[in-house]
Amino acid sequence: MSTPNLNPAAPNVSFFTPLQEIPAGTARAKQNDDKPIPSLFQPLTIRGMTVQNRIWVSPMDQYSADNGLVTPWHHAHLGGIISRGPGLTWTEASAVLPEGRISPEDAGIWSDEHAARWAPIVEFAHSQNQRIGIQLGHSGRKASTSAPWIGGGRNVCSAEERGWPDNTWAPSPISFLPQWPTPKELDIPGIERIVEAFKEAGKRAVSIGFDAIEIHGAHGYLVSTFLSPTSNQRTDKYGGSFENRTRFALEIVDALRSVMPDSMPLSFRISGTEGVEEVTPDEPSWTVEDTVRFAPILAAHGVDILDVSSYGINPKQRFPPLQPAYQAWLAAAVKKSNPGLLVTTVGGIADGALAQSLLDTNQADIVLCGRAFQQNPGLVLAFAQQLDVQIHQAHQIEWGYKMSPPKK
């Protein structure tokens, strides 16, 4: 007679880790006083992916990669969060080309070697019965700059500092800041090369098992500079009209959807506004009305989630007071006009009651948290405690909570 395995292993992984049959972050079926489970802790299915809650990890650049290759830092940073139960964890922006990195220490996925370095992190997420997605990006005219703790991230890295100031690209030769190099204007073959790079990066992401993909189309990086009339002053089919300025983004969406399984969700991060309407009211810019207009077009091309952030395109931008959920109004505008599209909001969400209120008031379907997870990897549990929701946790963590206090 065989001996029963009292501590079964997670299946289909290359190392032993206890099976987490119920993912951490899942609300328990039986709640205190039989209270209903708030929507923040209810499961959500997007195409073929089901997540156990609506608290997701926002992409957080770590400026810690080795020539684009992720390191043990990334595994420790993401693993400690993933094991504690967010519905989905987005990686930091992973550049589709070497010159598409923000800094020399940014992560990449422009080769199979880079994908192979991401694979153990994906395997770890799946070993915990959790979901992980990769954000793909190209920094455009904001490339070759320093980590944010060095000169506020506004230093340009020279070739001697492993930078590439003579190899930055944009829709038009307009620098983001006067002290930064003027980017080169992309020609049509250059645009096609980048679209193809996104497609190849998508293939790699699929091959190593990522559960979802997000396109970084915000914050003044390459895709968003095509969208905005302040940074895109082209006169060809990629500039001028709204239809032309959105063409590049849609080509990337179409390229990725062509290599993604139908079961795999696609997200698009967008700057809901450029934030200069009050500063330069007579100058055309990307506004919340443009985002609302673009949302159903993205959905028609296969985007499942619109990740609404803001700003970063124009140095004249005027930020609102950085209060909790300061960007939620942008997500709410999209949600109101596009009820069939899943919408996420991000920015200053560090409280469970606030997160739940954003869902209750139909401002968003999902909340993304970045700095709050950076400060507290156990943020999902913190939100659950604030809302008096009983959740499952990883066995290695949960058993300690069930121990009786030591006898005196």
Q: What's the CA gap between 248 and 243, in Å, rounded? A: 10
Q: How many domains does the chain have?
A: 1
Specify if 170 maps to a domain: yes
Residue 309 near residue 329 (C-beta atoms within 8 A) = no
Specify if 234 maps to a domain: yes
Amino acid (1-letter code) at residue 209: G
Average pLDDT along the chain? 95
Residue 211 near residue 261 (C-beta atoms within 8 A) = no
Residue 41 near residue 86 (C-beta atoms within 8 A) = no
Specify if 400 maps to a domain: no
Task: Return the CATH number at 231.
Answer: 3.20.20.70
Q: What is the mean pLDDT of residues 267-274?
A: 97
DSSP symbol at 214: E
pLDDT at 43 over 80: yes
First to last CA, the chain: 44
Structure tokens at 131: 């979901």
Specify if 258 maps to a domain: yes
Report the residue count for the chain. 408
CA-nearest of 335, 324, 212, 314 to 271 is: 314
pLDDT of residue 352: 98
pLDDT tens digits, 343-391: 999 999 999 999 999 999 999 999 999 999 999 999 999 999 999 999 9
pLDDT of residue 322: 82
Specify if 196 maps to a domain: yes
φ/ψ of 229, rounded to 5, equals -70, -15
b/e code 349-370 from CB counts within 10 Å (16+ = b): bbbbebbbebbeeebbbbbbbb
Percent of the chain as helix, strand, coil, to the nearest 5? 35, 15, 50
Specify if 286 maps to a domain: yes
Specify if 193 maps to a domain: yes
Specify if 362 maps to a domain: yes
Residue 230 belongs to domain spanning: 32-394
pLDDT tens digits, 182-232: 999 999 999 999 999 999 999 999 999 999 999 999 999 999 999 999 999
